[in-house]
Structure 1
Amino acid sequence: MKKTAGIQPFWLLAVIAVGVLPFSGLGTYTLQILTLAGINAAVAIGLNLVLGTAGQISLGQAAFVGIGAYATARLMTGAGVSFWLAMPAGGALAGLIGAALGYLALRFQGHYLAMITLCFGLIMHIFFLEFPFLTGGAAGIANIPYAGILGHAIDNGRDALFKTFHLSWFLVLLIYWLLNNLTHLGSGRVLAALRDDPIAAESVGVPTAVYKVQAFAISAVAAGLAGGVYAVHTHYVGPELFGVGASLEFLIIVVIGGLGSPVGAILGALLMAVLPELMRSYEEYRLLFFGMILMVIVVAAPGGLWGGLSTGVVRICSALRSRFGTGGA
């Protein structure tokens, strides 16, 4: 009971912060960048469940984002379906395909699993290109309508009451809350056992196959929902947005932020969104600086940004306690 009571204020403050931040004087361009960071964070938190918690390598996460984005876009433009129905439908479709991929990957581990998921990403990218009656082909799907709520369009414009920033970051909070609850239940301990020693887990009767498929499905649903938000944020989806490069970017976000940490995934997404903008003035050196900073983070903080920050806070607290204790003596 105490633990639950202690958690509630955090979520309340987080919801208030997300609700108020767009009206704190931030410019439209800044909101656009932060909205993309929120979309990437939602995808990365889902991927973190597979990669960090369950210990399964996935190099096809961008494909699930594409499935959700295309499904949302096609339902809204072709069938006139509301965003609030199209986005969950896209997430559900991505989840079904993710479960199928998880089932297919049951016999594979390590680099073989990485190859399977990489091939899946390549196949979906080809699908997005070669089936224009569903995806628009190389031209993609444009002129995707705005999402709306209470008769107001959801947009990052100055006069908009509800913004796509809200969509992306409330989705982040929702996914974080759900997966936080999941990982603190028996399912979380089973996924950790699947990561640390799957053979030992199977030997004590744990249905590792079920939980592996479950992890892939949940991760895919998160990516599909984020893809739906991306569709109404940019009003365009195309195959070039969901290739292998995007999957590697999501992987980098999770690793930099810290494996197994949803907060780390959020920090990694913010860094990957903001850092290129800060270096835009040094365009010719941007990739060099970006690579060097990533290398420094990985080497200096093997546990990622969140792991490094946590370790630093613990060391500072220990030093303060030591000094205080010595002074009190």
Structure 2
Amino acid sequence: MAKDKERSVNPAQQQRKLEKAKQLKKNRAEVQSRRNEKLARRNPERLQRQIDDIKALEAAGDIKPREKAILEELERDLKAVKKAREALGENAPKFGGGQRRREGDGGSNVLGKRRHDGERKQHQRRDSSGSDTDDSVRRIPMPEDTPPPVPRELRRYFPRKEENDAGTQPNTALPPKPQSAPAVKTTYESAPQIRDLRKEAINRFVPDVVRKKQEAAKGGPTGRLLEPEELDRLEAEGYMGRTNHERDASPLAGPDEEDKARKLAEEEARFLQELEMQDSDAGADNDGKAKVDIEDAEQTITRPSRHVEIEEVEDEDA
């Protein structure tokens, strides 16, 4: 059975367990070392003094419950600090000179900067015998008090150093600002804009058939040449610069030309009627009336006029 159990154990899994246990042990050791270092930085003598003060109050009978709890906490901290310092051994920080300072050891430790280890750097006075100063210079008596002020008469000829420095310093003031040019003001006017809508409409609302014929009469967009028959047809329709009076005055006007002129006149009348409709901003009813008027005009042009006479007839039986 033991062999079967050993065979069932995965060696890789067992190795991972061992590594995990080692890592946990290492982490615990690191945490404990950091805790010991933190506790060792506390001064056990100071903790002991606080404990002694609270015990003195306890002996006098003036202790309170909160101070008693603080006493127990300080005793636990003192034990932990001593244990941590014993664990660190020589690496534990040292707190020296506290008792001697309290007793007043000749005042030798008063001066000097405190080091990280708690000791103070001793203040060493320089011996006059080791100085490089000459004896004749050393024997010169030095004034005990500040010198008297300089009279005002001498101040005129010997200006102060601050004034000299102020005179020699360059001028760091900013140059004066240039006068800004007058700002350009934009004026907005509300004057009405006068437009010739009829003229604009003639150039804009042109039927496609009329526009194509006008372009053909001008040579077209490509500037192609027209055949003589096309030129005659455009001239007959009035796209070559001839007016209605010239067409009426031409002796060679045949029936075909009259029909074309009549159609052109109708088309022009229809176009003008559409412009009037757009200018008046009428609705669909006005559009229908305009069409009816145009049809009536066409019928009156094509239909001959008839005169009807009505006579009154008297009834003989009456």
Which bin holds the TM-score, normalised by the shorter protein?
Answer: under 0.3
Return the structure number with greater relative CO, CA threshold 8 A, min gap 6: 1
TM-score (norm 1): 0.22
TM-score (norm 2): 0.23
Higher helix share: 1
